[in-house]
Each structure stands twice: as structure tokens, then as C-alpha cells.
């Protein structure tokens, strides 16, 4: 990235570079240094997950719990399926279609949701469905965040068993040790380590390609699998059994959503260049090399990835594979931090501590609660499943479910925001949903073999997210019903003025049309008002970053009252004192030493009232008690704060 623009959004840096002629051409060999740097960065961050899929895809297809016999029809058929899955799902669906649905350069399930919500305005039922789909997609993404570190690290360390079978019983302890170091390192940030991710992954993909070529040369007939007819023959030969094989084939596109999720960090073009010019060739060469080995050397299906390498290269390959697995895991963990941060801003998850690990890159964050949750779940998965083969059944459900939700939300955006014709939408829907639902259906058949885990985790997280969302709605409804209208209150104050004291009082509230409870309590108990009273609300936009002209809105209500609205994007950190400083340009300046913040803290009481089941009321109350206080979340100085409690029954 451009070191001279550390505070700009990365995609904006990219566009600026393009405008100034710094980036030209889609050929990485002809690219400018700016584009090359972004391409290498994307290779290190975006493609870690999909790039490590050769560790387990072919092994699961031929040696897993539902493995196929190693025959020419099966090997060429599955290889053809893998090839065209990479083409259709990654190259066509994500790179050519989904990545066009950017929200001011930002991607990911939350960015897609806000676009789809905007596109479905005026259709409340569709808007609710969009939110539910997005919440479910986010819940499944966390399932991916648990399984990816588990399966990639286990697959990498399992190379020890290939080199020395006597070391098999050390695989799980070593995997746990690697994961322990990985999650422990999160609190220190990834800025320094991230700088070497790109070169390591470049070396990884070069190794994949070299191993593939070495095996293809020995059995070049596997190149026939480029013809999709071999995939058709595979289904003709196996019928229902061929459908079962899709559960293993889909593992080749695990992590495909990262291309869209991380688009905001690198921009659309560098990701496309990296995929078509480097990553996709390396992956395909390796898959073809593994297939050549399976046809050429009997008995190699137990681990075709490591057995495809020469004997002298296996130990270095284990080290490189473990490094690549850590990088793939890091990308998913960072993605979980990012999506949680966005979900907090959008009101789907309780507020929690967000630690910035870099003074220059706003996207580098660390969320202690999320890190602990992921580590505990990953540890349980590794110890519980023991091997990558056992985990493969669990992996597909989360991946295919998220892919289908991406397609559904994209279709809403394409039809209602881009005004695509019905025929075009139907064609795209039939093609992509047929692929997504076929893979999802194949993986549901593996529920008893581990597929139950992401479903249980997804349902639990979906319940938590929807409970918090619904609980906040009920709290807002109760506050509104019991509140006083602001403008009539100000008029009554002017007719019967209380004692005024010097200074500014800022009352934080979620509804700027009602009198904040903290203001009423202050007036009731202290019998005074400040000379200037500010009714402050903070809004989260449906865009990642609020535009400069919409960040602050000020309305003079008269009699020393002002309504101030601060707007933040869902990818921004709300800092109220800093944002208030910009109000001076609009005629309302704030001296923090002469300003007191008043906040009403709600105590939630669960009751039998209509709205949610009692157990959900109690769950919401528990989350509300343990959420990060609004004062800390909005970075309000504690020495300028007065909190007043209020009880809300739901």
C-alpha cells in the first residue's frame, strides 16, 4: 500500500494510484510497483484459505469417510469437477459477479447486507428477510472461523505421519501447540508478521505449481480432465454416488468468500490479478499433479499432497505447509474480528472491547472476547475430531451455506439496485444457486460425520444475534412509549425556567425526538439545567465510511438546546469527543473541560410481556449486563461523565 497515505481506505489508495497512472495493465509482470505490492499483499492475506485446500481436498475425495475408489474414471471425473468448481465459483461467481457489489469499496456479508437493505427499501418483508439471511451468513462465517484453523493446521502437521508414521500420535499435540501460539500472538497484532505473509504465500504457490508440474510430466494424460465432459461421465457412471462426492469437491473453494470480504483492504483489481495470474494456475497445477500421482502410484490416496513431493522435499514442505496453514488461519481470525466490529456498529452484537494493534492501519484490530471464543472452540474441535479427515465433513456445511446466502443477497442487489432484467436475474440465479445448493445438499448427507457441528454452532450464534437485535428493538419501544416529546418539553422549560448553571451538558440518547431520561433525572434531582444542553445521537450508516458532509448534523432547538447527530460508517470506530471537535466549523464549539456528558444506563428486567420468550429476555439481559459500556465504546472521558440508571422491563 501507498505508505504516504496511511489513513485512507486501501481501495481509495488504489483508485488514486490508478488515476495518477501508477497502476496499468493486468499482467503482473508489467504491473507498476504499487500494483505489485497490493497483489503480493492480497496473495498473503486473501488467498490463504483457498490456497491451503490442496492439503485435504483430494485426500478427502479418495481416502475420506466417503472416499471413491482410485480409478481413471473417478480421478479424472473428480479432477474435472475440482477444475470447473474453481472456475465457476471463484473465477466467475466471486471475481466476476459478487465483487461488483461493493459498498464504497468494502466487501463482506455485512457490506452486502447493507446494500441489499438499501435495495429493498419500501419492501419491509424483504428487508427483514435480508437481515435474517445476513445474520445466518455471519453465524456460519464464525463456524468457518473455528473449522479453518483446525483443519488447515491439522492437515499441515499430518505430514509428519507421512514422513515418519511413528510420529502420528504427536500430530494433535503439535497442532494444539501451533494454535496456542497463533491465538496468543493475536493481542500483539499482525503488522510485523503480516509483512512476510505475502512472500511466504508466493513461495507456497510456487511450490504447489512445481510439485504439480513434476507429477504431470510423469502422467500427462491427466490434462484431459480440463474437458468438463469427464465430470459428466463421472455422474453418469456413479449417479447418486457422484452427488456424494461433491461434499469433498467443494473443499477446493473453501475461503472463496475471502476474495469478497477482503476487497476493501486491497481493491478489486489486485485480487483479480493475483487470482488469474498466480493463485489459480498454482492451485490447478497442484490438483492435476496429485491426480497424476494417484493414477501413476497405487496407495498414495492416504495423503496425495505430501506423497506428490520428492522424499527430500517433504520436511521443508511440512514447514512451509504449517506456515501457510497459520497464515490461512490468521486471515480467518482477522476476518472474524472485522465482521464482529461491523456487526457491533450495525447493532447485531453487544458492544465489546476493540483494540487497535496498528497506529497506521485502521483495519488491524484485536477483539479479546472473540479471540477467546475462537480459541476455546478450535481447541475443542482439534481434540474432539483428532484428524483433518474427520473435520472435512464439518467444513463443507459452513462454506456452502455462506456461499448460497451470498448469492441470494447478490440477486436482491442486482434486481433492485442495478435494475437487472428478470430474465438475466433468473439465469444467474439458476446457474449459481444450482451449484451452491448442490454442494450444500451433498454436505447435509455428512451431518452425522461432523456436519452437525457448524449447524449447532450456527444455530447458537444465530439465536444470540437475533436475540440481541430483537431485544434492542423492545428496549427502544419501551423507552419511546414512556418518553416525553422533546420540543414541547423545551417550550414548557422556557415558560417555567429552572436555574441555569454554566457549561455544556451533553445527553447521549438513541432517540433524538424524546427527552433523554438522564436529562429528566438531572432536572428532577438537581433542579438545574446547564446554559447549553446538547441532545446527542450517534447513527451508524449503511456505508463503511461516512462522507465528510454527513458526519455531523446540528439543529438549534432554541432556549439553549441543540440536537447534534454524529454519523459513523459501519467500519469506523465511533469517537465522540474527536467528532464533536468538528462541530466548531458549524458554529457550535465544544470545550471538553467545560463539557459534562450525561448517560442513562438501562437495567434490563426480563418479564412475561409479549415480545420474546422469557428465556430470550434473560439471555438479552445477560448480554446487556456484560456489554462494554457505551461510554467506553464512544470513548467518552470518565472524568467528564455522569451516569444515571433507569430500569426497563421487556
pLDDT digits (tens, 9 = 90+) for 51-81: 999 998 999 889 866 778 999 999 999 999 9
Same domain? For 305 and 388 the reply is yes
pLDDT tens-digit map of 471-517: 888 888 887 777 788 888 888 887 778 888 888 889 988 888 888 88
d(CA 250, CA 564): 50
**pLDDT above 90 for 339:** no
Q: Is residue 115 situated within a structural domain?
A: yes
Element (H, E) at 368: helix 368-385
For residues 152 and 333, the answer to whether their CB atoms sit within 8 Å is: no
**Residue 350: closest CA among 384, 320, 373, 333:** 373
The total domain count for the chain is 2
Same domain? For 420 and 490 the reply is no
Same domain? For 438 and 569 the reply is no
* Residue 476 CB neighbour total at 10 angstroms: 13
pLDDT tens-digit map of 585-633: 787 888 878 888 888 777 777 777 777 888 988 898 898 888 888 878 8
Give the global pTM: 0.81
d(CA 70, CA 302): 11
Same domain? For 213 and 297 the reply is yes
Same domain? For 63 and 120 the reply is yes
Furthest-apart CA atoms within the chain: distance in Å? 95
For residues 138 and 110, the answer to whether their CB atoms sit within 8 Å is: yes
**What are the cell numbers at 54?**
490442496
Element (H, E) at 169: none
Give the chain's mean pLDDT: 83
For residue 202, what are the contacts with CB-CB under 8 A and spacing of at least 6?
40, 43, 44, 278
Same domain? For 494 and 415 the reply is no
Phi, psi values for residue 71, rounded to 5°: -130, 165
CATH number at residue 110: 1.20.1740.10
User: Which CA distances in Å does 506 have to 64, 284, 449, 503, 577?
Assistant: 62, 60, 57, 10, 11
pLDDT above 70 coverage of the chain, percent: 92
Q: Which domain holds residue 440?
A: 10-450
Of 117-131, 157-171, 340-354, 454-468, which range is least confident?
A: 157-171
pLDDT tens-digit map of 102-124: 877 777 888 888 888 888 887 88
d(CA 540, CA 537): 10
Q: Is residue 356 situated within a structural domain?
A: yes
Q: Is residue 226 situated within a structural domain?
A: yes
pLDDT (0 to 100) of residue 605? 79
Same domain? For 235 and 119 the reply is yes
Q: Is residue 52 situated within a structural domain?
A: yes
Same domain? For 446 and 567 the reply is no
pLDDT (0 to 100) of residue 86? 95
d(CA 109, CA 120): 16
**What are the cell numbers at 635?**
470513548
pLDDT tens-digit map of 316-328: 999 999 888 888 8
Handedness of CA 94, 111, 48, 169 (dihedral sign): negative
Element (H, E) at 538: strand 528-540
Helix (H, G, I), strand (E, B) or coil at 7: coil
Q: Is residue 3 situated within a structural domain?
A: no
Same domain? For 396 and 303 the reply is yes
Same domain? For 181 and 233 the reply is yes
d(CA 320, CA 542): 41
Q: Is residue 460 situated within a structural domain?
A: no
- CA count, 13 A, side-chain hemisphere, 531: 6
Same domain? For 263 and 399 the reply is yes
pLDDT above 90 coverage of the chain, percent: 23
**What are the cell numbers at 539?**
447513527
Same domain? For 352 and 274 the reply is yes
Amino acid at each position: 500500500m501507498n505508505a504516504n497515505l496511511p489513513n485512507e481506505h486501501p481501495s481509495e489508495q488504489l483508485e488514486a494510484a490508478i488515476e495518477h497512472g501508477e497502476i496499468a495493465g493486468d499482467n503482473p509482470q508489467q504491473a507498476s510497483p504499487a500494483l505489485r505490492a497490493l497483489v503480493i499483499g492480497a496473495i498473503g492475506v486473501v488467498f490463504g484459505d483457498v490456497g491451503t485446500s490442496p492439503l485435504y481436498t483430494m485426500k478427502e475425495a479418495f481416502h475420506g469417510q466417503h472416499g471413491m475408489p482410485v480409478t481413471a474414471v473417478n480421478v479424472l471425473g473428480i479432477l474435472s469437477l475440482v477444475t470447473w468448481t474453481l472456475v465457476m465459483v471463484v473465477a466467475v461467481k466471486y471475481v466476476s459477479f459478487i465483487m461488483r457489489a461493493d459498498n464504497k469499496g468494502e466487501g463482506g456479508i455485512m457490506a452486502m447486507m447493507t446494500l441489499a437493505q438499501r435495495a429493498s427499501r419500501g419492501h419491509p418483508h424483504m428487508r427483514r428477510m435480508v437481515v435474517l439471511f445476513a445474520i445466518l451468513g455471519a453465524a456460519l462465517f464464525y463456524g468457518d472461523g473455528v473449522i479453518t484453523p483446525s483443519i488447515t493446521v491439522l492437515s499441515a502437521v499430518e505430514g509428519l505421519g507421512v514422513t515418519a508414521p511413528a510420529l502420528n500420535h504427536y500430530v494433535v499435540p503439535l497442532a494444539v501447540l501451533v494454535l496456542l501460539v497463533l491465538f496468543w500472538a493475536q493481542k500483539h497484532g499482525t503488522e510485523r508478521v503480516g509483512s512476510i505473509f505475502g512472500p511466504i504465500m508466493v513461495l507456497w504457490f510456487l511450490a504447489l505449481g512445481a510439485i504439480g508440474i513434476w507429477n504431470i510430466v510423469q502422467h500427462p494424460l491427466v490434462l484431459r480432465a480440463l474437458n468438463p465432459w469427464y465430470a459428466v461421465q463421472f455422474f453418469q457412471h456413479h449417479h447418486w454416488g457422484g452427488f456424494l462426492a461433491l461434499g469433498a469437491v467443494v473443499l477446493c473453494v473453501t475461503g472463496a468468500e475471502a476474495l469478497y470480504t477482503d476487497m476493501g483492504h486491497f481493491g478489486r483489481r489486485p485480487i483479480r490479478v493475483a487470482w488469474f495470474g498466480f493463485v489459480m494456475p498454482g492451485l490447478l497445477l497442484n490438483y492435476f499433479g496429485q491426480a497424476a500421482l494417484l493414477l501413476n502410484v497405487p496407495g498414495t490416496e492416504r495423503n496425495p499432497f505430501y506423497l506428490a513431493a520428492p522424499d527430500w522435499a517433504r520436511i521443508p514442505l511440512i514447514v512451509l505447509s504449517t506456515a501457510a496453514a497459520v497464515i490461512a488461519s490468521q486471515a480467518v481470525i482477522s476476518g472474524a474480528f472485522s465482521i464482529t466490529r461491523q456487526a457491533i456498529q450495525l447493532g447485531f452484537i453487544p458492544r465489546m472491547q476493540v483494540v487497535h494493534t496498528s497506529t497506521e492501519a485502521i483495519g488491524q484490530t484485536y477483539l479479546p472476547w472473540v479471540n477467546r471464543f475462537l480459541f476455546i472452540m478450535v481447541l475443542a474441535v482439534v481434540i474432539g475430531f483428532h484428524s483433518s479427515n474427520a473435520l472435512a465433513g464439518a467444513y463443507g456445511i459452513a462454506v456452502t451455506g455462506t456461499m448460497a446466502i451470498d448469492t441470494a443477497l447478490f440477486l436482491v442487489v442486482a434486481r433492485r439496485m442495478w435494475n437487472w432484467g428478470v430474465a438475466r436475474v433468473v439465469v444467474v440465479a439458476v446457474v449459481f444457486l444450482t451449484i451452491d445448493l448442490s454442494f450444500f445438499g451433498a454436505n447435509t448427507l455428512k451431518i452425522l460425520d461432523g456436519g452437525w457441528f457448524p449447524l449447532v454452532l450456527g444455530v447458537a450464534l444465530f439465536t444470540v444475534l437475533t436475540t440481541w437485535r430483537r431485544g434492542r428493538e423492545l428496549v427502544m419501544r419501551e423507552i419511546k412509549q414512556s418518553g416525553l416529546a422533546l420540543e414541547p418539553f423545551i417550550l414548557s422549560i422556557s415558560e417555567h425556567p429552572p436555574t441555569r448553571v454554566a457549561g455544556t451538558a451533553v445527553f447521549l440518547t438513541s432517540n433524538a425526538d424524546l427527552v433523554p431520561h438522564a436529562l429528566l433525572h438531572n432536572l428532577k434531582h438537581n433542579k438545574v439545567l446547564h446554559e447549553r444542553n446538547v441532545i446527542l445521537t450517534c447513527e451508524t450508516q449503511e456505508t463503511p465510511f461516512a462522507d465528510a458532509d454527513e458526519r455531523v448534523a446540528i439543529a438549534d432547538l432554541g432556549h439553549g438546546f441543540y440536537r447534534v447527530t454524529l454519523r459513523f460508517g459501519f467500519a469506523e470506530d465511533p469517537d465522540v469527543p474527536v467528532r464533536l471537535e468538528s462541530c466548531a466549523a458549524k458554529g457550535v464549539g465544544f470545550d471538553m473541560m467545560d463539557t459534562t456528558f450525561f448517560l442513562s444506563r438501562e437495567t434490563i428486567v426480563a418479564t412475561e410481556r409479549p415480545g420474546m420468550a422469557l428465556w430470550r429476555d434473560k439471555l438479552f439481559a445477560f448480554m446487556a449486563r456484560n456489554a462494554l459500556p457505551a461510554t467506553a465504546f464512544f470513548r467518552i472521558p470518565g472524568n467528564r461523565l455522569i451516569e444515571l440508571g433507569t430500569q426497563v422491563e421487556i
